[in-house]
Structure 1
C-alpha cells in the first residue's frame, strides 16, 4: 500500500475562461478501486492527465507509483493484435497475457488477426488485459464502457471487480456499483472521496442536498424574520429617544435617564438581532455550493396522424452482399419507447439508418409513414466544430431554447463562447441531444445517446422521457436507463 497525495492543486488551461481546479487537496490509497464521477467538462480526464504529468500546474502531486492510462494512444490498428500488445508492453509474459484474456473470455486466435478486424468489444478487452499486465502501476481507466454492449459490460465489470489499484471513469451505474469500493467526485466547488460504490455515494449526496435545501429554507425564513424584528426594534429605539426632551400628558417632565436607558436597551436588542441575522447569513453562505443544477427538460414532440409510424416485416439488411441482420419483424406505434438490443455488429445501426432514409440494401417489407418527421442523434460527434450560435442557425433551431437546454444539462455560460471542437466527449453528445430536443418530430431515433454523458444528465434525460413519453427508438447499453425507459425491447 502507498498513498497519492494531492495538495493545493490549481490548474486551468492557458487562455481558458475558467479554472478547473483551485487549491484542491485529498489523498488516495493505491489499493482502492475508485469510481470517478462528475458532470461533463468538470475535468475528470484532465485530472488523469495531471497525474500523468502532461500539464504544468501549481500545488503538489506526490506518489510512489507509476501511472498507466487507458485507452492507449498511438495504437497502430493495422498491425496484428500480438504486435499491438508488444508495442505497448514489450516485456510481457505470454502466460500472463493468456490468463487475462481468459478472464475476459477472449480467444487466443485474436492475437494473430489484424487489430482493426476485432470488434470494439474485443479491442477494449485486449487493451484492458494488456493494461493489467503492468504490475506495480496505478491504473487510470477512462470510460472503457463506450461501445460495449450489455453482455461485454457485465464481463468487464466482473473482471475489474477482481482487480485493485485504479481510478475508473464511467457513467454506467450498474457497471460502477459492481467494481468500485470508493467514489472520487468532482463537485462544483471541491473534490471529495467517499467509501462505498456509486449507489451509496448517490444516496448520501441526495440526503446531503435535501438537508442543505431544508436548512437553507429555514435560515432564509429566520433571516427575514430577524430583519423585520431588527427594523421594528431600531424604530422603537429612535422613537423613545426622541421623547427624552418631551413631557407627559400631565405636563410633568419625563425621566430622561429612564427613557435613555430604555432606548439604549432597545438599541442593544436591535444589535443582538443584527448579529444573529449575520450569523444566519454566514451559515446560509456555506450551503448549496455543491448542489447540481438539474432543472427539468422539455421536448417538442408531435402527434402523428396514424397509430403506426414504421413497420418492418421479415427485413434482412446487406452490406456488399454480406447479411448483417436477418428477418427483423417489429413495428413502431405512436407512444412506443423501443430499446433496440443486440451485440455490437448485429445490425442495430443499419436498421436505424434504414428507418432514417439512408440508401440501405434490404429484402423483405419496410413501410414508413408519409411526412413522418424524424429527429436523429448519431453515435458520431467528430463533425462538431465552430460556435454554438452558428450551429443553431445552420440547423434552424431556436438558439435561446438550444442554449437553455444546454445550461440545464450542466453547461456554464463560458462554454457558449468556445469552439465545439474543444468540448469534452460528453459535452459534444449533449449538443446533439439538445438539438434533438429542439426539433419538432413525430419519432426520435437515438443511437447510443448516453456515451460520455454524466450520470446527473442521464437521470435528467430519463425523467424527461418518462414525463413527456415521446415515440422513440433507441440503442443504449446502459442497463439502468433501458430498463427505466423502454416500453418494448426488440432484440436482434
Structure 2
C-alpha cells in the first residue's frame, strides 16, 4: 500500500482562459478500486493524462507506482494478439496470462489470431488481462464498457471487483456499483474522494444538494441584506469625507485637522465593515458551488394516425455467407419503448439501419406506416464538425431550443463558440441526442445513445423519456437505463 498525493494542482490548456483544475489537493490509496465520475468536459481524461505525465502543470503529483492506461494503443492491429501482449509487458509469465484470460472467459486461441479479427469485447478483455499482469502498476481504465454488451459488462465488472489498484472511468451505474469501493468525483468547483460505490456517492450528493437548495432562499435574503448594508456603509463613509470641506451650522469654520482625523478613522472603520460584508457575501455564495443543474428537458412528438408504426415479419440479415440475425418478427406500436438486446454482432444495429432505409440486404418483410417520420441517433460521431448554429440550420431544427437542451445537458456557453469536432465524445453524443429531441417525429431510433455520456445527463434523459413517453426503438447496454425505460425487450 502507498499513496498518490496531489497537491495544489493547477492546469489549463494552452490558449485557454479557464483553468480545468485550480489548486486541487487530495490523496488516493493505491489499493483502492476508484470509480471516477463527473459531467462531460469536466476533465476526467485530462486528469488521467496529467498522471501519465503528458502535460505540464503547476503543483505536485507524487506516487511510488507507475501508471498504465487502458485502452493500450495498438499501433499495428493486424499483428498477432500475443505480439500485442508482448508489447505491453515483455516479461510476463504465460501461465499468468492464461489464468487472466480464463477469468475473463476468453479462449487462449485468440492469442494466435490477428488482433483486428477479435471482437470489441475480446479486445477489451485481452488488453485488461495483459495490463493487470504488470506489478507495481496503477491502472487508469478509461471507459472500458463502450460497445460491450450486457453480458460482457457483467463479466468485466466481476473481473475488476476481484482486482485492486485502479481508477475506473465509467458512466454505467450498475457496473460501478459492483466493482468500486471509492468514488473520485469532479464537481463544479472541486474534486472530492468518498468511500463507497456510486450509489453511496449519489445518495450523499443528493442529500448535500438538497441541503444547499433548501438554504437557497435564506442565503439569497442574507446576501441581499449584506449587499444593502455594504452599500449604506459605503455611502456613509463618503458623506463623512465630504464634511472635511464643509462648515458648522453656526457658520464658523471646521477644524479640518480634527475632522480629517475623525473622517479617516470612520473611513477605515467603514471600509473594514464593507470588506467583512463582501467576504460574508462571497462565503455564502460559495455554499451553492456544487449543486448540479439537472433541469428537466422537453420533447415534442407527433401523433401518428395509426396505432401500429412498423412490423418486422420473419426478417433475416446476412453479410455474404455470414448470417447476422434470422427470422426476426415484432411490431412497434404507439407508446412502445423497445430495447433490442443481444450479444455484439447479433444484428441490432443492422435492424435499426434497415428501418431508416440504409441499403442492407435482407429477406422477409418490413411494413412501415406511410408518412412515418423517424429521428435517428447513430453510434458514430466522427462526421460531426462546424458550429452549432450551422448544424441546427443544416438539419432544420430550432436553434434556440437546440442550444437550450444542450445548456440543460451541462454545456457551457463557451462550448457554443467551439467547433463540434473539438468536443469530447460525450459532448458529441449530446449534440446528436439534442438534435433528435428537437425533431418533430413519430418514432425515435437510438443506437447506443449513452456511450460516453455522463451519469447525471443519463438520468435527465431517463426522466424525459418517462415523462413524455415517446415511441422509441433503441439499443443500449446500460442495464439501469434499460430496466427503467424499456416497456418491451426483443432478444436477438
> TM-score normalized by structure 2?
0.89
Q: Secondary structure at the match of 1:444?
A: strand
Q: Structure 1 residues 81 and 231, CA, compared in 2 at 3 Å: closer, same or farther?
A: closer
8 A Cα contact 1:222 1:280, kept in partner: no
Q: Does the alignment pair 1:317 with 2:317?
A: yes
Match of 1:446 in 2: 446
How many Å separate the matches in 2 of 1:421 and 1:323?
36
Deviation at 1:216? 2.1
Q: Does the alignment pair 1:3 with 2:7?
A: no
Q: Does the alignment pair 1:341 with 2:349?
A: no
Match of 2:330 in 1: 330
Deviation at 1:277? 7.7
Match of 2:108 in 1: 108
Match of 2:359 in 1: 359
Q: Does the alignment pair 1:409 with 2:436?
A: no
Deviation at 1:419? 1.5
8 A Cα contact 2:84 2:115, kept in partner: yes
Q: Structure 1 residues 39 and 199, CA, compared in 2 at 3 Å: closer, same or farther?
A: same
8 A Cα contact 2:223 2:284, kept in partner: no
Q: Secondary structure at the match of 2:215?
A: helix
How many Å separate the matches in 1 of 2:287 and 2:441?
41
How many Å separate the matches in 2 of 1:409 and 1:45?
19
Match of 2:150 in 1: 150
Match of 1:192 in 2: 192
Deviation at 1:291? 0.8
Mark the runs of 5 or more structure 1 residues left unpaired by the alignment. Answer: 233-244, 246-272
8 A Cα contact 2:307 2:334, kept in partner: yes
Q: What CA deviation, in whole Å up to 9, does each residue of 1:82-132 have, x standing for no partner?
A: 111112222221101001001101011111111111111111001110110
Q: Does the alignment pair 1:469 with 2:469?
A: yes
Q: What CA deviation, in whole Å up to 9, does each residue of 1:166-190 have, x standing for no partner?
A: 0000000000011111000001100
Q: How does 1:232-271 map to 2 (within 5 A)?
A: none
Q: Structure 1 residues 97 and 231, CA, compared in 2 at 3 Å: closer, same or farther?
A: closer
How many Å separate the matches in 1 of 2:231 and 2:20?
43
8 A Cα contact 2:227 2:277, kept in partner: yes
Match of 2:117 in 1: 117
Match of 1:128 in 2: 128
Match of 1:90 in 2: 90
8 A Cα contact 1:17 1:414, kept in partner: no
Q: What CA deviation, in whole Å up to 9, does each residue of 1:406-450 have, x standing for no partner?
A: 111011111111111211110111111111111111100000000
Q: Secondary structure at the match of 1:37?
A: strand
Q: How does 1:18-29 map to 2 (within 5 A)?
A: 18-29=18-29
8 A Cα contact 1:354 1:360, kept in partner: yes
Q: How many residues align?
A: 460
How many Å separate the matches in 1 of 2:151 and 2:31?
27
Q: Structure 1 residues 71 and 491, CA, compared in 2 at 3 Å: closer, same or farther?
A: same
Q: How does 1:33-52 map to 2 (within 5 A)?
A: 33-52=33-52
Mark the runs of 5 or more structure 2 residues left unpaired by the alignment. Answer: 233-248, 250-272
How many Å separate the matches in 2 of 1:226 and 1:342?
60
Q: Structure 1 residues 472 and 66, CA, compared in 2 at 3 Å: closer, same or farther?
A: same
Match of 2:30 in 1: 30
Q: How does 1:254-293 map to 2 (within 5 A)?
A: 281-293=281-293
How many Å separate the matches in 2 of 1:174 and 1:332?
28
Please report the RMSD computed on the Cα atoms of aligned residues, expressed in angstroms: 2.5
How many Å separate the matches in 1 of 2:185 and 2:337?
32
Deviation at 1:392? 1.4
Post-superposition, which runs of at least 4 consecutive aligned residues in structure 1 deviate over 2 A? 218-232, 273-284
8 A Cα contact 1:339 1:475, kept in partner: yes
Q: Secondary structure at the match of 1:148?
A: coil
Q: Structure 1 residues 282 and 208, CA, compared in 2 at 3 Å: closer, same or farther?
A: same
Deviation at 1:230? 11
Q: Structure 1 residues 283 and 9, CA, compared in 2 at 3 Å: closer, same or farther?
A: closer
Match of 2:177 in 1: 177
8 A Cα contact 1:311 1:330, kept in partner: yes
How many Å separate the matches in 2 of 1:177 and 1:37?
12
Which region of structure 1 is more displaced relative to structure 2, 313-322 or 139-148? 313-322
How many Å separate the matches in 2 of 1:327 and 1:17?
57
How many Å separate the matches in 2 of 1:484 and 1:136?
41
Match of 1:490 in 2: 490
8 A Cα contact 1:373 1:443, kept in partner: yes
> TM-score normalized by structure 1?
0.89
How many Å separate the matches in 1 of 2:223 and 2:5?
41
